[in-house]
Structure 1
Amino acid sequence: MTATLGTNAALPTDDVDPFSHEVLEDPLPMQEALREAGPMVHLTRYDVYAFARYEQVHAALVDWQDFQSAAGVGLSNFRHEEPWRPPSLLLEADPPRHDAPRRVLTKVLGPRALRRLRDRWTADAEALVDEVLASGAEFDAVRDLTSVFPLRVFPDAVGLGREGRENLLPYGDHAFNAFGPANDLVERGTPRVAELSAWVADRCRREALAPVGFGADIWAASDRGEITPEMAPLVVRSLLTAGVDTTVHGLSAVLHAFATHPEEWQRLRVQPSLARLAFDEAVRWESPVQTFFRTATSDVRVGDHVVPDGSKILMFLGAANRDPRRWTRPDAFDLTRDPSGHVGFGMGIHQCVGQHVARLESEAVLTALARRVRSLELAGPAVRHHNNTLRAWESIPVRVRTA
């Protein structure tokens, strides 16, 4: 995208509230309306500019020069407002400040680390699935499986102690709610913000982390001068903030997809190597991270219109991932599809650095299930968990027949 002056005459407008409970329960009608309205829509309720088509969302994600993250990836504009916590060095920073922390975390979470974890996580997933299946033919996939496994294995990999791990999910839930407006969802988490933030900050100290793990590796990078000692705890915090909730909701998305698409479950059983593709297709289809904001660094032309300097842009990742201009049969969960190119993990320099960790966790769980479960179906109505940024499930009751 090229920064240029122009006029916003005849720009489509909409007064929809993307953060209302009605939309959070079912965002698909709003997403379709925004996609069909045009490449860019002015959302008058919040005075932001919406991108819902794949082309514009992808372009904005990779164009950090025109659409910055450093002014916040939520509705709050850090040019004028004080952030509720020190900004993330990865998610809420641009080059050059973003570069060193990104390099360190990319190396820490690289192929060598994942090879080291694969066997352990595979065994942990098999043990957990055996525990769940031993309890009976019906269980809640969220309560008993998808919210349990990431909290079991990922904090271990970081080097986090056992005590207080239950704080990670409510902390992450509030952090993602805080990217939206100050609505009732934010108010719900506010009473515990100070307590949870203090706990997370304390856990990011070198002394609080195990001598072996992702956290220790980050601190070792500061010893080598790759990042400063002041940066190290913020990089560890990025792992704890984004490394659990998003994986929980990604796992929930793929299990709900299989529970409602029995033919795809049979396809996975026959070919367990499809587990990683299935997770990516579920991330495209469900988009656990639905939205992120950027801020225009100048007047930026998008098609026939201009985003004014300093304005907030709301990128609808979920809408882009179901854009029929990009995807054939976009509303279908389909394991014959190549889902690569989806923006569920972002794109460009801010693309999720931990996405391969999430894929490994999902592969372990899905492979363990596929070996043991002949059929998987809903045993009752699934219940949504509302969050300003995340598309999540509170409960997915399922019924299985074991192999």
Structure 2
Amino acid sequence: MTEALERAVLPPFSDLDPFSPDVLLEPEPMHHLLREAGPVVRLSRYDVHALARYEQVHAALVDWQRFESGAGVGLTNFRHEKPWRPPSLLLEADPPAHDAPRRVLREILAPPALRRLRESWLATAEELVDRVLAEGPEVDAFAALAKAFPLRVFPDAVGLGPDGRENLLPYGNMAFNAFGPVNDLVTADAHRVAELSAWVNAQCAREALSEDGFGARIWAAADRGDLTHEQAPLVVRSLLTAGVDTTVHGLAAALYAFTTHPEQWQLLRERPEAARIAFDEAVRWQSPVQTFFRTATTDVRVAGTVVPEGTKILMFLGAANRDPARWNAPDRFDLTRDPSGHVGFGMGIHQCVGQHVARLEAETLLTALARRVRRIEPAGIPCRHPNNTLRSWVSLPVRLVPAG
């Protein structure tokens, strides 16, 4: 035992299970208990160190040298166990392997490219909202809006063909479940792993992609030598995996927020330029990505506790985003708040490279809704979908009251 370990403060132990069905559906009570327990908590069920306060989660996210992603951002430790698919070159890699793929995607998804998409995406959003309103006041906002819009515009932008897009969310559900323990959620998907993986991998091939999308530009970067040709399909896969589910459930979170905070919808209608703030506040408030793991590369002292080298650290992004030490009235969805600094998209070099794409999707859809809908009211009980990593949805019944 090292001298540092001998002097370490022992963290409180907890037998809480963050992957139990009840907690996955309603994590806030457990988040409160973990924040109250201390800056570091040892979760005995999985033998991991948990961070639930904003200060420690943020510090771990930006310290890639001591909290690595290359050993996997799930419970599985890639140092000792083989991953179920080739690791993501963005999410599950550290410098130098991480540098070139991120640089290529950052250039492809730069603001000028996104500005060129804004007009067409807004027209698509307006067309979708008009069609939904024409079908009647009551609608499942998850299926008809939060899911339908990203599954149309984002695969188009990547360059996917029209067939098979219904596979994207099941694949993402499977991929995000795999970051947790091998529980019933993982085994329920086992029979589709080969099928869904084969479909997604086929979409990442050069010949499957249109000539004018993000995917083609990734392959062009490989032709220039900015990436290897072996890396190109893995970067396309990372874009597809990270760019659909998180946006879908982030949009659902925003729509849910407006059904439960009607005064905030009126504020958005008065200030439609606040659409992006609304999306970021929804991501902070609901945190579509609830957790990610890191692995200690050395003995790391965190608030007096030494986390031993090789140990998995479970970061509760959702808990950090509602930490009262960082946010005033954190359980309230509030468009007058400055939500910048939330960790819903990560932080540091692994911060979501496609976050501005998600913001543009949200901005265009929420803008189209605000122009046409006077009120968004609950029309039934919302239904969550349990996932080991995502705060996701099955349905969100609402009543859309058209503007006069």
Amino acid at match of 2:172: G
Indicate yes or no: 2:162 matched with 1:162. Answer: yes
Q: Which residue of 1 aligns with 2:366?
A: 366
Deviation digits for residues 1-59 of structure 1 (CA, Å, limit 9, x no counterpart): xx954445531110111010010111001000000111100000000000000000000
Distance in 1 (CA, whole Å) between partners of 2:49 and 2:10 is 14
Contact 1:268/1:370 (8 A) holds in 2: yes
**Secondary structure in 1 aligned to 2:112?**
helix
Distance in 1 (CA, whole Å) between partners of 2:136 and 2:19 is 38
Question: 1:380 and 1:4, CA in 2 relative to 1: closer, same or farther beyond 3 A?
Answer: same
Q: Which residue of 2 aligns with 1:196?
A: 196
Q: Which residue of 2 aligns with 1:119?
A: 119
Q: Which residue of 2 aligns with 1:308?
A: 308
Q: Which residue of 1 aligns with 2:319?
A: 319
Alignment of structure 1 residues 97-112 onto 2, 5 Å? 97-112=97-112
Deviation digits for residues 207-251 of structure 1 (CA, Å, limit 9, x no counterpart): 111011100000000011001100000000001111111100000
Normalised to the residue count of structure 2, the TM-score between the two structures is 0.98
Amino acid at match of 2:209: L
Deviation digits for residues 343-396 of structure 1 (CA, Å, limit 9, x no counterpart): 000000000000000000000110000001111111011011110000012111
Amino acid at match of 1:216: A
Contact 2:381/2:397 (8 A) holds in 1: yes
Distance in 1 (CA, whole Å) between partners of 2:288 and 2:130 is 27
**Secondary structure in 2 aligned to 1:148?**
helix
Distance in 2 (CA, whole Å) between partners of 1:26 and 1:6 is 38
Q: Which residue of 1 aligns with 2:132?
A: 132
Amino acid at match of 2:376: L
Distance in 2 (CA, whole Å) between partners of 1:386 and 1:288 is 12
Distance in 2 (CA, whole Å) between partners of 1:7 and 1:23 is 34
Contact 2:9/2:306 (8 A) holds in 1: no
Q: Which residue of 2 aligns with 1:52?
A: 52
**Secondary structure in 2 aligned to 1:147?**
helix
Distance in 2 (CA, whole Å) between partners of 1:206 and 1:375 is 44
Q: Which residue of 2 aligns with 1:354?
A: 354
**Secondary structure in 1 aligned to 2:72?**
coil
Distance in 1 (CA, whole Å) between partners of 2:333 and 2:4 is 40
Distance in 2 (CA, whole Å) between partners of 1:4 and 1:19 is 31
Distance in 2 (CA, whole Å) between partners of 1:173 and 1:287 is 16
Contact 1:261/1:333 (8 A) holds in 2: yes
Q: Which residue of 1 aligns with 2:259?
A: 259
Deviates more, 1:119-128 or 1:7-16: 7-16
Contact 2:50/2:316 (8 A) holds in 1: yes
Q: Which residue of 2 aligns with 1:10?
A: 10
Q: Which residue of 2 aligns with 1:186?
A: 186
Gaps of 5+ in 2: none
Question: 1:77 and 1:7, CA in 2 relative to 1: closer, same or farther beyond 3 A?
Answer: farther
Deviation digits for residues 84-116 of structure 1 (CA, Å, limit 9, x no counterpart): 000000000000000000000000111121011
Q: Which residue of 2 aligns with 1:231?
A: 231
Distance in 2 (CA, whole Å) between partners of 1:198 and 1:155 is 17
Distance in 2 (CA, whole Å) between partners of 1:109 and 1:5 is 44
Q: Which residue of 1 aligns with 2:389?
A: 389
Distance in 2 (CA, whole Å) between partners of 1:350 and 1:146 is 25
Q: How many residues align?
A: 401
Distance in 1 (CA, whole Å) between partners of 2:343 and 2:89 is 21
Distance in 2 (CA, whole Å) between partners of 1:171 and 1:393 is 15
**Secondary structure in 1 aligned to 2:133?**
helix
Amino acid at match of 2:68: Q
Contact 2:24/2:387 (8 A) holds in 1: yes
Amino acid at match of 2:75: L
Amino acid at match of 1:353: V
Distance in 1 (CA, whole Å) between partners of 2:11 and 2:208 is 52
**Secondary structure in 1 aligned to 2:65?**
coil
Distance in 2 (CA, whole Å) between partners of 1:398 and 1:236 is 35
Q: Give, in angstroms, the shift of residue 118 of structure 1.
A: 0.5
Normalised to the residue count of structure 1, the TM-score between the two structures is 0.98
Contact 1:4/1:300 (8 A) holds in 2: no
Gaps of 5+ in 1: none
Distance in 2 (CA, whole Å) between partners of 1:261 and 1:228 is 48
Amino acid at match of 1:337: R
Q: Which residue of 2 aligns with 1:148?
A: 148
Distance in 1 (CA, whole Å) between partners of 2:255 and 2:48 is 34
Contact 2:138/2:398 (8 A) holds in 1: yes
Distance in 1 (CA, whole Å) between partners of 2:127 and 2:4 is 57
Q: Give, in angstroms, the shift of residue 140 of structure 1.
A: 0.4
Q: Give, in angstroms, the shift of residue 163 of structure 1.
A: 1.1
Q: Which residue of 2 aligns with 1:278?
A: 278
Contact 2:173/2:387 (8 A) holds in 1: yes
Q: Which residue of 1 aligns with 2:173?
A: 173
Distance in 2 (CA, whole Å) between partners of 1:242 and 1:183 is 22
**Secondary structure in 2 aligned to 1:106?**
helix
**Secondary structure in 2 aligned to 1:292?**
strand
Distance in 2 (CA, whole Å) between partners of 1:5 and 1:346 is 29
Contact 1:6/1:305 (8 A) holds in 2: no
Amino acid at match of 1:219: W
Amino acid at match of 1:160: L
**Secondary structure in 2 aligned to 1:293?**
strand
Distance in 1 (CA, whole Å) between partners of 2:71 and 2:7 is 24
**Secondary structure in 2 aligned to 1:294?**
strand
Amino acid at match of 1:207: E
Amino acid at match of 1:138: E
Contact 1:6/1:306 (8 A) holds in 2: no
Distance in 1 (CA, whole Å) between partners of 2:246 and 2:400 is 25
Amino acid at match of 1:273: E
Distance in 2 (CA, whole Å) between partners of 1:198 and 1:6 is 49
Q: Which residue of 2 aligns with 1:27?
A: 27
